[in-house]
Amino acid sequence: MEQLIIKGKADSCGMTLSNYLRSRGMSLVIKPRLSEDDIQVFASLAGFSENFREIVKYLQSIGDVSGLAEQIMLAQKEIRSLLDKLK
């Protein structure tokens, strides 16, 4: 039973069982691979971040007085922060 659990964890990381156990024994950080859905979500987030940047540039060019540009910039920074954590 334990062997199947460990094998499953190794598979989710894209590693052989021996490589997984070796890495664990050396206290290395092992990250599971991203699923195709995860990759699509993060690609969308990256696109949103770029769109937000363009919206902020436009709002600044017309003299945004509502503070919307600042709120969008904060959202963009948070998205970038999340994307950076995945690297």
Q: Is the pLDDT of residue 87 over 70?
A: no
43-53 in b/e form (b: 16+ CB < 10 A) is eebeeebeebe
For 52-75, write each residue's pLDDT tens digit.
Answer: 888 888 877 888 667 777 787 788
Which residues make Cβ contacts (< 8 Å) with residue 31, sequence separation at least 6?
13
Q: How many CB atoms lie within 10 A of CB 76?
A: 18
Provide the residue count of the chain: 87
pTM recorded for the entire structure: 0.45
pLDDT recorded at residue 65: 65
Map out the domains of the chain as residue ranges: 1-33, 34-87
Residue written as token pair 């990256």: 46
Q: How many CB atoms lie within 10 A of CB 39?
A: 12
pLDDT recorded at residue 55: 82
For 18-57, write each residue's pLDDT tens digit.
Answer: 888 888 888 777 777 777 787 788 888 888 878 888 888 8
**In which region does residue 67 sit, left (phi positive, over 0), alpha (psi from -120 to 50) or beta (all else)?**
left
